[in-house]
Chain A
Amino acid sequence: MTKPLEVNPLKLSQPMGALIAFLGVKNSMPLMHGAQGCASFSKVFFTRHFNDPIAIQTTAVNDITAVIDGGDYSISEAVKNITLKVKPELIGLFTTGLTETKGDDIKGVASLLKDEHTIVYAHTPDFEGGLESGYTKAVEAIIDQIVVATLMCEKKITIIPHVSMTPLEVEVIKEQVELFGWSVYALPDISESLDGHLGEKQGALSSNGISMSEIVELGSSSAVLTIGNSVHSCGTKLCNKNKNMKHIHFDSLGGLVNSDKFYGSLMEISAVAMPHSKTIRWRKRVQDALLDTHFILGGKQIVIAAEPDLILSLSSVLTEAGAYIKAIVSPTKSSSLDSIKTENKIIGDLGDVEGFLDKETLLITNFHGERLAKKEHSILVTRGYPNYELVGNQLKNDLLYEGTAQFLFEVANCIIANSNHH
């Protein structure tokens, strides 16, 4: 029976996705156009996940401005108050359910302010889509509104990671592409802003990331590399800025096969016959890791509840070692889920996960799964937003050869540790 309501939500909202995108731009101020609570909840949410301060401001729409203001008062007032204290290089303006219900013309307001401030605007109501689509809309907006069109190609590659990739994963992909001799930019680049580093000062703006001048020039990339189904359209957008740019897309970079494809494409566009010797060594380690863990993971029942691109990535790794994906639960629809072999594909919430759990099953989801796993005696591996309990979320890597190997070991060890207790 389908239930009329959400029980224990898995879905995170579009504005929260847009927030992550803007946090990957250096010296930016994400500005959420809504009531103060939308921004406050999101700030606390990501502060607790990353254990670091999160830059965000709100237009603080109240019950009066909700009715009599079309957005121009509260947005321009917010921009004025922000710039009194700090000088952001970018103001990332994005909407919420409240301001889309009243139908504010943010494009109009942004164009009124554009002479004095650099503003990117995105429509991200939280009554449609989810974390992935909100992030994608913000990235598309940045490309549309900032990147300059060109026909020139430089020895440069742009990476567009999906929203569930950790700061370290973004860094790892950048490094691997750099090994082939390219200058590499990630849009957005959370590897330098949300990676949890001790800074001299905790400023009100995003602490680091891709700079505005770098974004302007992204059109001259020889190729754009998109990772995750949800950001495929961002690659298309960037290619619209330069018809000579190549678009290379990967639905996932988890597992041996996907990693092979990644290095294969890089060898092709870089015209090299051999990757770095380290890469070759890590591939052998993954082969070994798959063999070492397949005794434990083979046939193991797995339930994954996460954002679609993350589900695909994690399941790609585990199925290579023979794991059986019992069910996947995603908060939103996505073609990422099409290729996953499982009898139970559910668009739903953590309430829908409960029925699939027992003591033979391993659950992979965010920290909200803890209570659930305990209740049903399942083993839990935490992945995805939010993780309030564990530390070091920003430095996990489950991608390419090295990440695949480490993830296989982590899951296998979880199962071993658990079976020893019984």
Chain B
Amino acid sequence: MVNKKQIKELLSESACSHNEQKKSSCDKPKPGATSGGCAFEGAQIALFPFADAVHLVHAPATCLGASWETRATPSSYDGENNTFLGYSTNVNTHDIIFGGNQKLEESIEYIMINKKPKAIFVYETCVTAMIGDDMDNIANRMEIKYNIPVVVVHAPGFVGSKNLGSRLAGEAVLDKLIGTKEPTEIHPFGINLIGEYNVTGDMWQYTPILEKIGIKIVSTFAGDGRIESIQMAHRAKLNVIVCAKSLITLCRKMEERFGIPYISVSFYGKRDTTNAIRSIVNAFGDEELSRKAEAIIAVEEEALEKRLLPYREILNGKKAILNTGGNKSWSIASALQDMGIDVVATSVAKSTLEDIDIAKSYVKILMKSPANEQAKLIDEHGVEILLAGGRSLYTAIKKKIAFVDVNQEKKISYGAYGGLENLAKDVCAAVQNPVFSIVGTKAPWEKQI
């Protein structure tokens, strides 16, 4: 059953800095003026990267039919990778009338027998919450019968936003998985990566560096994640929240319950990656570790600078405007600056107060209403590159400047040192591509201005 008390608590998270003031993303969605995903999607984003667990969505056709195999979150798991598979009970009229309990139970049994997963996540959705299927009861019985964890995620879409859904997923994992297994040995520098989903392999850009320094990744929530390691997450020494803030409640509770402190970092761009590594290492306060980290940072930065050189020649001093949302408003700005680009303005229309504060420290002009401001700023400052979502494409074509779609599902990682090179490559390709001015050419039947 949906736990209203828990939802209320998650929405007034004491660890959120903006909690004193009203925050729009935690509000109830407004009919006719809402575009974001629902709580179920948030839960799905947070948990689907666990490749060794089967994700069973107890729902009618839309919930999974429209959403499976959509996120590029690779896994190194050598068994059947369930991240990209879709399991749904496909609730029909009969189930609505007579209840979907039996179907759910049979589905879980089918998966247990045929797929032998390390765990099963069962997702409650709007319709199955409405018809009141007793999912917890079934899950408990199945868990005992097969001796494999069956975790019900109570995040039906109508309880709120994606962000809330990720939080509810965090609660489910905390209650049912974390702390249920003990490791054979406890690493002195073990960390959990929280809120890192390994989109396009972002995480793999920096985990080898951390390991080289001597830090052990105990578990990840949930990029390239494994059930067994998240079960032992309580034996890590530090929680590292990567970019996404939605799992802050999980980290606060793990601190209260297991005494694990947490820090929040970003791995976009050179400076932020270096800062992230330093923050992690400093949290341990071990001199030898810090020395090693500094040595490796120096090597990595130097190697990156060498690789960036050809791109710098093209990009250095080029002026750009960034129009995106959330933490990208500053994290990408910082990455662009690292390759010599002059970021004239960034959008803060969809950022939290905390993000706006950080953005201020990177970029001078903050656009509150980018759709109205960016065209003017392009003219005033002689901007040559617009990095934005598809909606701004026409602005770039009209102004005949290069365009990079930063909101599109990216196919390649922009994370950490290696990712910065990828980003530089892509921005360079856009700057040198004649396509924007060719597309902007007037047709022979249009008046030349």
Contact = CB atoms under 8 A, between A and B. Distances in A.
A5 to B, nearest CB: 4
Contact of B61 (A7, A9, A40): A9
Interface string A74-88: 110111111001000
Contact of A11 (B65, B130, B157): B65
Given A9-B68, A35-B157, A198 B60 contact: no
A17 to B, nearest CB: 10
Contacts of A202: 390-391, 393-394
Given A80-B32, A127-B96, A13 B60 contact: yes
B127 A62 contact: no
Given A4-B110, A371-B84, A98 B65 contact: no
Given A127-B95, A368-B69, A97 B62 contact: yes
B372 interface: no
B159 interface: yes
Interface string A352-393: 000000000000000010010000000000000000100000
A15 B391 contact: no
Contact of B30 (A9, A60, A98, A198): A60
Contact of B68 (A8, A34, A102): A8
A201 B371 CA distance: 11
A44 interface: yes
Interface in A1-58: 3-9, 11-16, 31, 34-45, 48, 53, 57-58
A63 interface: yes
Contacts of B397: 198
Interface stretch (B37-45, B220-228, B243-251, B263-271): B37-45
Contacts of A53: 390-391
Contacts of A127: 60-61, 91-93, 95-96, 127
A128 interface: yes
11 contacts: A4-B103, A5-B111, A15-B62, A16-B66, A36-B37, A40-B41, A41-B67, A48-B409, A60-B30, A60-B31, A128-B93
Interface string B364-395: 00000000000000000000000000110110
Q: Which of B66, B156, B390 has the most CB of A within 10 A?
A: B66
Nearest to B109: A4
B32 A125 contact: no
A6 B90 CA distance: 6
B91 to A, nearest CB: 5
Given A16-B62, A127-B60, 9 more contacts: A4-B103, A5-B110, A11-B65, A35-B126, A35-B157, A36-B34, A37-B40, A75-B31, A97-B127
Interface residues of B, number: 64
B144 interface: no
Contact of A125 (B56, B60, B66, B69): B60
Contact of B130 (A6, A60, A66, A78): A66
Contacts of B63: 37, 41
Interface string B221-246: 00000000000000000000000000
Contacts of A38: 38, 62, 157
Interface string B104-127: 001101110000000000000011
B68 to A, nearest CB: 7
A-B pairs with lowest CB-CB distance, top 7: A37-B38, A78-B32, A81-B32, A78-B31, A37-B157, A4-B106, A13-B61
A14 B31 contact: no
Contacts of B33: 57, 78, 81-82, 85
A62 B29 contact: yes
A397 B29 CA distance: 40
B206 interface: no
A12 B31 contact: no
B34 A58 contact: yes
Contacts of B127: 97-98, 101, 127
Given A62-B158, A97-B60, A9 B88 contact: yes
A268 interface: no
B9 to A, nearest CB: 16
Nearest to A81: B32
A210 B127 CA distance: 34
A11 B88 CA distance: 11
Contacts of B448: none
B114 to A, nearest CB: 8
Contact of A12 (B66, B130, B157): B66
A59 interface: yes
Interface in B117-155: 126-127, 129-131
B64 A36 contact: no
Contact of A62 (B28, B69, B111, B393): B28
A9 B86 contact: yes
Nearest to A42: B66
Contacts of A371: 69, 84
Contacts of B107: 4-5
B46 to A, nearest CB: 14
A96 interface: yes
A347 to B, nearest CB: 11
A48 to B, nearest CB: 7
Contacts of B208: none
Contacts of B30: 60, 77, 81
B21 interface: no
B70 interface: yes
Contacts of A97: 59-62, 91, 96, 126-127
A181 interface: no
Contact of A63 (B109, B158, B390, B409): B158
A42 B61 CA distance: 11
A58 B31 contact: yes
A173 to B, nearest CB: 27
B87 A7 contact: yes
Nearest to B39: A37
B1 to A, nearest CB: 12
B36 interface: yes
Nearest to A64: B28
A383 B419 CA distance: 34
Contacts of B88: 5-6, 9
Interface in A200-239: 200-202
Nearest to B31: A78
A9 B32 contact: no
B369 to A, nearest CB: 14
B358 interface: no
A81 B61 CA distance: 28
B162 to A, nearest CB: 8
A126 B62 contact: yes
Nearest to A7: B87
B324 interface: no
A35 B61 contact: no
Contact of B86 (A7, A98, A198): A7
B158 A66 contact: yes
Contacts of A101: 96, 127, 130-131
Contacts of A200: 394
B75 to A, nearest CB: 13
A61 B38 CA distance: 11
B84 A60 contact: no
